[in-house]
Amino acid sequence: MKNQSVFDSRIKEGITISIDTLGGDNGEGVIIRGLELIRRQFPTVSYILHGNKDILLKHLNHYPELKKISILNHAKNAVLMTQKPSDALRNGRGTSMFSCIESVKNCEADAAVSCGNTGALMLMSLVKLRKISGVNRPAIAVLWPSKNKSGFNIVLDAGADVKADTKDLLKYAIMGVTYAQNGFNLSKPRVGLLNVGTEENKGSKDLFDANEEIRKSSKNKNFEYVGFVEGTDLPSNLVDVIVTDGFTGNIALKTGEGTAKLIGDFVNESFKKNVLSKISSIFAIKPLKRLKERMDPRRVNGGVLLGLNGLVVKSHGNADHVGIEAAVKLAIRLTTNNFSQNLSSNLKNAENTKK
């Protein structure tokens, strides 16, 4: 992601990031390696690491500089990927996820990063951090590979809630715009509302009304509203922020993932079909590698929970050190740009304009 580096040269001093080290599929080692990558660029950022102290120490001993700027907080239990959110919340105390969020709640850290169970992370964050005044349904914003100069678009809600009414969709637009501005330096993001057609008379009443509300709200505001967009536009360069309800967003996200995986498998099978195609694959290695890099989910890793009193970044469960680096850097960038404060004030402004 070329322009992700725009911000990387200047960051706020004294940032602390709280990390849930038990959530991911790949263990503590990749997290520590990812943090070491960041330390070399931003030595002033410090960390609170929640998880198994012994294992963390074992890994940190390889990186003495990182060890110096890390506080370890022992947590016995992990939230399981298969655990129901309500169950995870009930049994939350003592888990690394719980204490990771608590560090933000207690103002010990500026942001929380976890690779764990998304539903559990959303529910625990909601209960611990509470919703920002005026937000009814928080949302998860994800980065979607696209033809935009940045290489991705922002899509929300990706599945925090299965429903969204007109007011929620308007707030998603405002939250997405603030995120695009503070996370990716887009001064006037273009916003689209996901629908089954681009005609003004399509879709449900909530969508129809949200179309009007977002359009009204875009006047005198620092974003451009492009109207309804379709599923084909998710990876396009027509928009920067795409607003939808969490049910549709989640289905779209997983459909995109499934399609990309299907094509990836077909590519592999095609190049393995016979001796000749195996030889061809040697010649094709470079271009195929370039393609893989471009589609690499690790480079755009990091979903953000929006609408809470505190910043929580969700990393992919199977993120490796590059993925962890991307997710934690996103948290650093948003903290540097006072994202949480800007989000509250933009939402408040929208409320006041309506009155």
Applying CB under 8 A, which residues contact a second copy? 84, 119, 145-147, 159, 162-163, 194, 196-197, 199, 201-204, 230-236, 244, 246-248, 250-263, 265-267, 270-271, 273, 276-277, 279-281, 283-288, 290-291, 294-295
**Of 133 and 277, which CB lies nearer to a second copy in the complex structure?**
277
* Neighbouring C-alpha atoms within 13 Å toward the C-beta of 52: 12
Distance of closest approach, residue 111 Cβ to a second copy, in angstroms:
26
Closest-CA residue to 138 (of 175, 113, 87) = 175
Q: Least distance (Å) from a second copy to the CB of residue 157?
A: 11
Q: In what order do the strands lie in the sheet with 46-51?
A: 70-74, 46-51, 16-20, 111-114, 311-314, 303-306, 139-145, 152-156, 241-243, 190-194, 224-229
Least CB distance from residue 277 to a second copy, whole Å?
4
In the complex with a second copy, which residue's Cβ is closer, 278 or 354? 278
Please report how close the Cβ of residue 189 comes to a second copy at its closest, in angstroms.
20
Decide whether 71 or 288 has the Cβ nearer to a second copy: 288
The least distance separating a second copy from the CB of residue 99, rounded to whole angstroms, comes to 26
Q: In the chain, where do the E strands start and end? A: 16-20, 46-51, 70-74, 111-114, 139-145, 152-156, 190-194, 224-229, 241-243, 303-306, 311-314
CB 120, min distance to a second copy, A: 12
Of 133 and 270, the one with the shorter C-beta distance to a second copy is: 270
- Pick 200 or 212: Cβ nearer a second copy: 200
Q: Based on CB atoms, which residue is closest to a second copy, 111 or 194?
A: 194
157: preceding bond cis by omega (within 30 degrees) = yes
SS3 for 188-241, per residue? CCEEEEECCCCCCCCCCHHHHHHHHHHHHHHCCCCCEEEEEECHHHCCCCCCCE
